[in-house]
Homo-oligomer: A and B are copies of this chain.
Amino acid sequence: MFDRIVICGVGLIGGSFALALKSAGLVKTVVGIGRRRETLEEAQRLGILDEIATDWSVALKGADLLLLAMPVGQMDTVMAAAAPYLEPQTLVTDAGSTKSDVFEAVYNHLGNSLANVVPAHPIAGAEKSGPAAASASLYQDKRVVLTPLPENDPTSIDRVRAAWAACGAVMSQMSPQDHDRVFAAVSHLPHLLAFGLVHEIQARGNAEQLFGFAASGFRDFTRIAGSHPEMWRDICVANRHALMAELDAYLTELAYLRALLMQGDGKALESLFAEASAARNAWAETYLK
């Protein structure tokens, strides 16, 4: 499928993409480029990378595909640096958790390659990061959302879709605006809420006592508060308008819950909990195996 792919940002996401294509026998040479030499060397030791590049002109020479898998805050810098060396056959995709900002960066920097740039968002995370966490099966049965550009060559869309599908992913397609609203609701807001809860508790004088009695509910609710701070900074900043709209809707819900508590309105609380519980259990039935 590919002779040479280049991965910028060889952590969990980029590393797993490389391992999945390698284990499917669909790529000959995987080249890594990124900020930290140690990370690239670790990825090479782990068999994720065949080559490390320090220079975009070398990395992209003869490349079939470039995957941008750094935190989204670096999209601008990286696209500006890579743009001059993209060849006519080089496809570009990314793994950013936000898409409106990626579109903006694409139109700012990759104007000469719009036919070949097909943004994507793999819905696969883990609280662990780095190349050591990468695995060939990370994308197996996970969703990957493509947000193609109007300027895309249909063949480019097909080839990028096929690359992600070859990693085992279930593909779908959305506009970048829809994408960012949907993920603000079901991913970015829960992360913000979990970070906020743990931050608020750890700052207290009796944090030790509180953590000492936290059990499995707390464990699961706060798992995502262990996520990568820089990655989530970038997501929250990039998607802050959609995220604030979600936060405001949630604050309205909390104001309602607060009023029910104040009134001791058990009947209304129970009916709200029952609706939530039924919806959560129906979701789990449908989407969790």
Chain A interface (Cβ within 8 Å of chain B)?
73, 123-126, 142-143, 145, 182-183, 185-187, 189-203, 207, 209-230, 232-234, 236-237, 240, 243-244, 247-254, 257-258, 261-262, 264, 266, 269-277, 279-281, 283-284, 286-288
- Is there contact, CB below 8 Å, between B143 and A187? no
Could you tell me the distance between the alpha carbons of A251 and B145 in the complex, rounded to whole angstroms? Answer: 33
How far apart are A149's CB and chain B's nearest CB, in angstroms?
A: 21
Q: Given A190-B221, A210-B186, A215-B125, do A261 and B277 touch, yes or no (CB 8 Å)?
A: no
- Is there contact, CB below 8 Å, between A196 and B257? yes
Of B185, B210, B215, which contacts A123 at CB under 8 A?
B215
Of B196, B209, B210, B233, which contacts A250 at CB under 8 A?
B196
Which of A183, A197, A227, A264 has the most chain B CB atoms inside 10 A of its CB?
Answer: A197
- Is there contact, CB below 8 Å, between B229 and A274? yes
- Is there contact, CB below 8 Å, between B249 and A251? no
- Is there contact, CB below 8 Å, between A220 and B217? no
How far apart are A263's CB and chain B's nearest CB, in angstroms?
A: 9
Contact sample, A vs B, 11 pairs, CB 8 Å cutoff: A183-B213, A185-B210, A187-B215, A191-B217, A196-B272, A201-B279, A226-B277, A226-B284, A229-B277, A237-B264, A247-B261
Which residues of B sit under 8 angstroms from A218, Cβ to Cβ? 186-187, 190
- Closest 3 A/B residue pairs (Cβ): A202-B279, A229-B273, A233-B270
Q: Given A215-B143, A264-B240, A273-B233, do A186 and B199 touch, yes or no (CB 8 Å)?
A: no
Which residues of B sit under 8 angstroms from A217, Cβ to Cβ? 125, 187, 190-191, 223-224
How far apart are A262's CB and chain B's nearest CB, in angstroms?
A: 7
CB-based nearest B residue for A271: B229
- Is there contact, CB below 8 Å, between B142 and A269? no
CB-based nearest B residue for A218: B186
Q: Given A217-B187, A261-B244, do A234 and B276 touch, yes or no (CB 8 Å)?
A: no
